[in-house]
Amino acid sequence: MSLAGKRILLVIAGGIAAYKSLDLIRRLRERGASVRPIMTRGAQEFVTPLAVGALSASHVYTELFSREDEQDVGHIRLARECDLVLVAPATADLMAKMANGLADDLASTVLLATDRPVLIAPAMNPKMWAHAATQRNYATLQRDGIQSIGPMEGEMAESGERGRGRMAEPIEIADRVEDLLSGPKPLAGMTAVVTSGPTHEPIDPVRYIANRSSGKQGHAIAAALARLGAEVTLVSGPVTIADPAGVRTQHVERAEEMRDAVLSALPADIAVMVAAVADWRVASSAGQKIKKQPGEAPPPLELAENPDILKTVGHHAQRPRLVVGFAAETQNVEENGRSKLERKGADLIVANDVSPETGIMGGDRNRVKLISRDGVEAWPDLSKDEVAERLALWIATQIGGTGA
C-alpha cells in the first residue's frame, strides 16, 4: 500500500489509449490511492463513465457546467483536493490546451486551476507526436514544470503504424506516481552530470563518423537521478528523443565539445558517463564536400584519437565522489569491463553486450552487468527505464544521500 492515503485526480482524455485508464485505476487503488476521475467528452467515446466509476468507486466528473457538481465551485475543489493530477492519456489536443492556458471544458479548466503536481502520459499517433506543434507544446509543458512519462515506441492500436506514440503501461505510470509522491528524495542537494547518445565527428560538411547509440539509456538515467532529487546536467550528443523533464540538457556534436561541457559541469557529486563517444575523429576534416573522382581510389582518412572523457573525469582534480562508466562490448564483456574499471578510474562499470543480434543498441531494452571492485552483479533483461531506476537507487545507496 505504497500510495496509502494519496489522492489522485485522474484526467482521461479522448484517445484509444483511454482503455488503459481502466487498468491504471486498478493499479493505483491496489497501492492504496484513492482515484477521482474526470473524463472529457472524447474519452467517453472510448470507455464509459459507468466502467470508470465502478473501478474507481468514485463519482465520475464530465461537465464543467454541471448544476450538481458546480454548485460549490466544483472545478476548484477538484483542482485542489488531491495530491497529484494525472493525465492519462494526454492527447495532443489536451496538451495544446495546457500549454496555451485554454480552459473550455472541465479537464482543461481544472488543469489551469490546480496548484498540485501534474504528471502527463502522452499518447497519440507517431506523426502527431513528432509534429512541430506538439513538440513545441511539450517543451512548453516541460518548462512549466509538468512531469511526463512516455510516449513509448510500439505499434499503434488504431492504425497498425509503428513509432513513438504509445501510452506508457499502467504499471509504469503507477510506479512514476509513486516516485513523485514518495516523500524525501535520497539525492536531494546533490549534483550529477550524465552523458548520453553518440558523438558525430565530421569528415566534411555532410559526412561524419558515428555509432548507433540512441541516447535512450543515458536520458533515462538522467531522468531517474532527477526523480531522486539530484540536480542533473545532461550532456547529450545528437539524438532524436526528447530532453528528459527536470533535467538541464546541453546539446553537443563532437567528443571534444562533450568533454568541455562535462568539465564545465564539475564539481559534481556524481558522474555517469553513458554516451557512446567515437574513439576517433578525422585529424583534419574537409571544409567542402569531398567529391568522388572517376577512376581514383577513395581519399585516405587520417584519424586522431578523441579525448577519453570517462578517464579524464575519473582522474580529475575535481573528481566526483562517485564515477560510473558504461562499456558497450561485443565480446568478453566481463573481462573488458574489469579492464576499463581500472584504466578509467571509475567506481563502477555498467557493461553490456551490444552485438547486433541483441537489439540493445538503439532498442528499448537492456541486459547489463555491474562491475565493481567488489565483484560482478548481473541484472536480468529489463527495459531501459527499469535499468535507469535500479541504477539510480544503487547510486543513492552507494553515495549515502541524506534526503531532504
DSSP 315-363: T-TT--SEEEEEEEESS-HHHHHHHHHHHHT-SEEEEEE--GGG--TTS
Q: With contact defined as beta carbons under 8 Å apart, do 171 and 27 qualify?
A: yes
Q: Does 279 appear as a known binding residue?
A: yes
**Assigned CATH topology for domain 191-399:** Rossmann fold (3.40.50)
Structure confidence by residue, pLDDT tens digits, 20-41: 999 999 999 999 999 999 999 9
- 243 HSE (CA, 13 A, CB side): 21
Q: How far apart are CA 98 and CA 113, in angstroms?
A: 11
Cα separation, 2 vs 181, whole angstroms: 9
Q: Residue 310, annotated ligand binder?
A: yes
Asked if the domains at 7-180 and 191-399 fall in one CATH topology, the answer is yes
Q: Is 344 annotated as a binding residue?
A: yes
pLDDT tens digit sequence for 219-277: 999 989 998 889 999 999 999 988 887 789 999 999 999 999 999 999 999 999 999 99
Is 307 part of any known ligand binding site?
yes
C-alpha 316/C-alpha 268 separation (Å) is 12
- Closest Cα partner for 12 from 133, 173, 245, 146? 173
Angle at 110 between CA 107 and CA 116, to 5 degrees: 125
Question: Mean pLDDT in the chain?
Answer: 91
pLDDT tens for 62-87 read 988 766 655 554 678 888 899 999 99
Q: Catalytic annotation on 211?
A: yes
| 309 is an annotated ligand-binding site residue | yes
Q: Looking at domain 7-180, which CATH architecture does it have?
A: 3-Layer(aba) Sandwich (3.40)
Strand segments (E) across 186-230:
191-196, 201-204, 207-209
Per-domain boundaries in the chain = 7-180, 191-399
Whether residue 362 has pLDDT greater than 80: no
6 is in an annotated binding site: no
Dihedral sign, CA of 91, 93, 97, 103?
Answer: negative
What residues have CB less than 8 Å from 135, skipping those under 6 apart?
A: 129, 242
Cell of residue 382, nine digits: 529489463
Question: Which CA distances in Å does 168 have to 88, 180, 294, 339, 392?
Answer: 9, 16, 52, 38, 20
Any residues with CB less than 8 A from the CB of 400 and at least 6 apart, and which? none
Predicted local confidence at residue 73, as pLDDT: 46
For strands 365-366 and 382-383, give the pairing. antiparallel
Q: Find the catalytic residue in 125, 137, 211, 366.
A: 211
